[in-house]
Amino acid sequence: MKRSTLLRGCLLAAMLVCAPVFAQGETLVTRVIVMRHGVRSPTSSPEELAPYANRPWTAWPVAPGVLTEHGAQGMTSLGQRFRRMLVNDGLGSGKCDDAWLIIADSTPRNRGSGAALAKGLQPECHASYLALPPEQNNALFHFNNPSGAKDDDAPVAAPSAWPPPALVELQTLLLGCNGEACLADAREQQRKLLLDPAHDDAASRAKALKSAGSLSENLMLEYAQGVAPDKVAWGKGDAATIGRIITLHNLQFALAKKSMPSASNAGSNLLAHVMATLQQSAGMTTGVAPLSPKGSRAVLLVGHDTNLANLAGVLGVDWHDTRQPDDYPPGGALVFDLVKAKDGYGVRVSSWMPTLEALRQADLSGDAALVRHALPLAPCPGKDICPLATVDHWLKSRLDPASIDATVPAMPVNQL
């Protein structure tokens, strides 16, 4: 059966998951997965968030910006799911000698996510992951932003259609009311307003969108953490509502993280090493160090939502799907497959995004828990696999040489 026929079959069946399709003679050689860490607490404390809302924010069981126990459970479940997928795709046997490698960023939430992922990926083994010591910058994940802070973005223009409907809804959620009387009361209480007719210029709009992106993500995290329904977004944060307001985070990232040349400036180093890893597996000599030794079948990098947005911008891909309206959810991943065919090596890029409900349950085992999309690249329109040489040539015009370190940091092994 032809590949196109199989793909149409997947679509017609309306399945959330369409397994990789290989034509006769195609073999999956290596897979590199770049993913976001698990569910964490907001990076700001409830006290710091207080000026934006008329009611107290949810109290979290961990310090700001830290992986939660629930988030760790979700990452372990995702590791178990990845293990099955890697075995099914011919990249290992599920035993302890599988050539799989986990690399995590050095922040505590990433190290914790790497450990939880390893626990699920190789549960019966002396599993481990690579990571620099806590808070030591890893240029793979933060080449031009050593602090990893989210508030370092250069000013960006607000979208032409203003205000986005989701921004109006978010302010109503924060204040618990709307209208002129509501705004007057908020001003009297010295609340920080996202939309204020008294301050409505280009700079104010850009600042409002930036704040809205972070605030909408905080409410999404409440839902993903499994906070009681009467507490998520002050009792108003059902899945549909969270799905609408999280598009503000998507929009803010599209303008600040995904747009070129910002994406190239921040994402070239990571993508160059991903490409070098695929090229090594194809028997090529690379000028940039691969992420893993020769023979590795799978490399899993536990990074951040910013990494996913940067890579999406450089690659010129989009995977927005109403089944998972958050484009960069905890555990979300971009997947790079090296495929060997009779006419040479090719690259397939795809997105694997956990649904909000799967994150809330910390259970990624079901087929519907991941929304997956093949992401055709510009030099091969309409094709899910693009020749490796073609991708390499195309990326030379998209990557920023000044933002690439040819070496990979020497990361110690962290044993579970």
337 vs 204: CA distance, rounded Å: 42
Is residue 335 a contact partner of residue 25, using CB atoms and an 8 Å limit? no
- For residue 14, name the pLDDT band (cuts at 50, 70, 90): very low
Helix, coil or strand: residue 71: helix
Here the CATH number for the domain that contains residue 337 is: 3.40.50.1240
Asked if residue 159 belongs to a domain, the reply is: no
Asked if residue 152 belongs to a domain, the reply is: no
Measured from the Cβ of residue 230, the count of other Cβ atoms closer than 10 Å reads: 9
Whether residue 145 is predicted with pLDDT greater than 90 in this model: the reply is no
Whether residue 100 is predicted with pLDDT greater than 80 in this model: the reply is yes
Give the pTM.
0.92
Whether residue 225 is found in the same domain as residue 284: no
Domain that holds residue 171: 165-256
Whether residue 188 is found in the same domain as residue 310: no
Whether residue 330 is found in the same domain as residue 401: yes
Would residue 286 be called left, alpha or beta, if left means φ above 0 and alpha means ψ between -120 and 50 degrees? Answer: beta
Whether residue 277 is found in the same domain as residue 242: no
Asked if residue 155 belongs to a domain, the reply is: no
Whether residue 305 is found in the same domain as residue 233: no
Whether residue 407 is found in the same domain as residue 350: yes
Least confident of 92-106, 140-154, 185-199: 140-154
Helix, coil or strand: residue 406: coil
Whether residue 373 is predicted with pLDDT greater than 80 in this model: the reply is yes
Q: How many domains does the chain have?
A: 2
- For residue 135, name the pLDDT band (cuts at 50, 70, 90): confident
Whether residue 97 is found in the same domain as residue 82: yes
- The pLDDT of residue 199 is 86
Whether residue 9 is found in the same domain as residue 135: yes
User: Token pair for residue 308?
Assistant: 């996913």
Whether residue 272 is found in the same domain as residue 394: yes
CA distances from 187 to 135, 164, 343 (A): 39, 22, 66
36 vs 303: CA distance, rounded Å: 5
